[in-house]
Amino acid sequence: MRQLFEFRGGSFASKAGIAFVVVALLLLPFALTQVGTAWVRITNLAILFALLSLGLNIVVGFAGLLDLGYIAFYAVGAYVYALLASPHFGLALPFWIILPIGAFVACLFGVLLGAPTLKLRGDYLAIVTLGFGEIVRIFLNNLSQPLNLTNGPRGIARIEPVRIGGVDFRSTDTWFGFQVSGPMKYYYLLLVVLLVVIIINMRLEDSRIGRAWQAIREDELAAKAVGINTTHIKLLAFAMGASFGGIAGGIFSAIQGFISPESFVLVESIMVLAMVVLGGMGNIFGVIAGAVLLSFVPELLRYTVEPMQKSLFGKMIIEPEVIRMLLFGMALVLMMRFRPAGLWPSSARKRELGRRPE
Amino acid sequence: MSGTILEARSISKRFGGVRALNNVSLTIERGEIYGLIGPNGAGKTTLFNCLTGMYQANEGEFVFDGRRLNTEAPHAVAKQGIARTFQNIRLFSNMTALENVMVGRHLRTHAQVFGAIFRTQTTRTEEHAIVDRAHELLRYVGIESRANDIANQLSYGDQRRLEIARALATEPKLLALDEPAAGMNATETASLRKLIVALLQDGITVLLIEHDVKLVMGLCDRVAVLDYGEKIAEDVPIKVQRDPKVIEAYLGGTVG
């Protein structure tokens, strides 16, 4: 297990820095609760998006395949959880059984999507994945008859929360004199999952498979010529990315307690892709930064735009949602102009995107 | 260490109405340097691409190392022991020289997702072996000092060498070089020549497409000449040089 926490360069300063970050992350929910429990929920969603972005990063960042329907795997994971732990089928399996099932089913869907489409390249692949994302959503919307599998647009409600050893993640408990609310418990759970996913990502990147992904991204023909079975390796990227999406979806289900097809629309796919691109394709920490940034900014706007306009003009003129989209578009345009490889790009990506094409 | 390593049997390749290769047969002996020459557009690279699975020949087949060569996919060809380089260098240009060669080891190593995630003992041992072998190969082609440089920052000659090192990483029995001396200066060509001779001594058969006639004639054991998709000569260099058909193909119709 010593290998697990191997950090590059073990100077005192870097160790102290890491210790500081760890303590800050552990105390964060307590600080946020002072502002309002809503902020803990928002943070949880940000971590969920970070998980999603890390999954998509494998497909887009590592292997260089554009996927516009990634949210479908999130949906699959969410529905697997919902169906196995809600009154809909009268099941209540424990979450540590459901999450792997959700990851596996999402992985199957990844293969299902990948196998017939991975001969396509670039734009064509993007279009097919976009279609796939919509197909999954429409199926979820319509699979209420003849057999009521998904309960259609009404969604699935009363989904069981996570329970670990008698600890219910929906209720507030008092531990060592501290009030620990439901969202706070989920925060710690998500933090652990995020850490595991980061480690998996780092190890995949620095492995035989990761190098093959990068080789395909750089020059597919040359990759084939040195004996890489590109179809197989791309499929692996799709499957790995999809299973992370499935895990995130499962936790989403548990946190929300209610899901419906509306949560898995195209805009969500695009949002996750924007997080990956904005943060820095291929760089694990860049991608996380992108996810956190794009999750928090809209919420900050929600809390500032409305009061600001009310105090200035006495009424609301522009909806926060509109401003959010405006800023969002502007940020992406500016980024493409000034930092085409993302805020925090991977070194290889920087070299690829930084130079003008020859 | 003797006998036929590769036999091309009546290979034909058409692109629409154009016959790029017409009934080309040739045999390459184990342990020789076999040159493939011909004017531009004669079909040399097309033959290369058919051999390495980039194109599918319309007719004919290749027999490699006593077995029918599966040319359905490039990676299948590489697996059977044929590695190639490209006329216009195709490196993984934003990866380091070392990483390029490490990718070449993909074919002969086995770590899967599970091994990568859990860093099993087997995976770690294999990973060390990959790095060691990659350094070894860089040393072999003479660019070990550039191991950590980005591939596209290497000099032209070094990029050619790196491409050869990457091809060697797949443990080929036959190495197919597509115009390796193109664009090289005299010094670089001379050291390339040394490298090819060294390959041969290490038991690798070399198939060479080349425009540099001096290099081909001085280096190759046998030479085949292609013209308009057909083989017009196949012999030792000295005889090919005097073949009237070859002279005609290179210099145009007979004078007078």
- Chain A contact for B131 (CB, 8 A cutoff): no
pLDDT for A357: 43
**Angstroms from B247 CA to nearest CA on chain A:** 34
pLDDT for A2: 41
Q: How far apart are CA A262 and CA A129, in angstroms?
A: 18
| More confident position, A108 or A178 | A108
pLDDT for B126: 94
| More confident position, A306 or A40 | A40
> Residue A203 — very low, low, confident or very high, per pLDDT cuts 50/70/90?
very high
Q: What residues in B contact A229, CB-CB < 8 Å?
A: 73, 75
| More confident position, B106 or A310 | B106
At residue A49, the 3 state secondary structure works out as: helix
> Residue A281 — very low, low, confident or very high, per pLDDT cuts 50/70/90?
confident
- Range with the poorest average pLDDT among A33-37, A192-196, A271-275: A33-37
Q: How far apart are CA B144 and CA B196, in angstroms?
A: 18
pLDDT for A5: 47
Beta strands B33-37; B205-209: pairing state: parallel
Chain A residues interacting with chain B (CB cutoff of 8 angstroms): 3, 200, 203-204, 207-212, 214-215, 218-219, 221-230, 236, 240, 348, 351-352
Closest chain B residue to A197, measured at CA: B117
Long-range contacts of A331-339 (CB under 8 A, 24+ apart): A331/A278, A332/A274, A332/A277, A332/A278, A335/A277, A335/A278
Q: A interface mutation test: which of B89, B94, B175 has the most A CBs within 10 A?
A: B94
Q: Cβ of B55: how many Cβ atoms within 10 Å?
A: 18
> Residue A148 — very low, low, confident or very high, per pLDDT cuts 50/70/90?
confident
Counts of helices then strands in chain A (DSSP H, E):
13, 6
pLDDT for A10: 61
Over range A249-256, report the average pLDDT: 94
**Angstroms from A215 CA to nearest CA on chain B:** 6
- Range with the poorest average pLDDT among A64-73, A242-251, A348-357, B218-227: A348-357
pLDDT for A215: 95
Residues of chain B with pLDDT under 50: 1, 256
For residue B109, give every residue at least 6 positions away whose Cβ sits within 8 Å of its Cβ, in sequence order, or none.
Answer: A208, B126, B129, B130
Answer whether A218 sits within 8 Å of B74, measured CB to CB.
no
pLDDT for A355: 53
Q: How far apart are CA A260 and CA B201, in angstroms?
A: 68
pLDDT for A9: 52
Q: How far apart are CA B92 and CA B52, in angstroms?
A: 19
Answer whether B150 sits within 8 Å of A225, measured CB to CB.
no
CB A250, CB A316: distance < 8 Å: no
Structure tokens at A263: 């949560």
CB A130, CB A68: distance < 8 Å: yes
For residue A122, give every residue at least 6 positions away whose Cβ sits within 8 Å of its Cβ, in sequence order, or none.
Answer: A66
Answer whether A208 sits within 8 Å of B109, measured CB to CB.
yes
pLDDT for B254: 55
Q: pLDDT > 90: what percent of chain A?
A: 47
pLDDT for A164: 81
Q: B interface mutation test: which of A62, A195, A226, A243 has the most B CBs within 10 A?
A: A226
Residue A135 has pLDDT above 80, yes or no: yes
Closest chain B residue to A239, measured at CA: B113
Distance, C-alpha B219 to centroid of its chain: 15
Nearest to A215 among B86, B92, B110 (CB): B92
pLDDT for B213: 79
- Chain A contact for B90 (CB, 8 A cutoff): yes
> Residue A354 — very low, low, confident or very high, per pLDDT cuts 50/70/90?
low
Distance, C-alpha A271 to centroid of its chain: 10
> Residue A77 — very low, low, confident or very high, per pLDDT cuts 50/70/90?
very high
Q: A interface mutation test: which of B87, B105, B117 has the most A CBs within 10 A?
A: B117
pLDDT for A118: 82
Closest chain A residue to B92, measured at CA: A218
Nearest to B106 among A204, A221, A228 (CB): A228
Beta strands B222-227; B33-37: pairing state: parallel
Q: Kindly report, residue by residue over B183-215, the tens digit of the pLDDT.
A: 888 898 999 999 999 999 999 999 999 877 788
Q: How far apart are CA B233 and CA A68, in angstroms?
A: 54
Answer whether B93 sits within 8 Å of A218, measured CB to CB.
yes
Average pLDDT over all residues of chain A: 87
Q: What residues in A contact B127, CB-CB < 8 Å?
A: 207-208
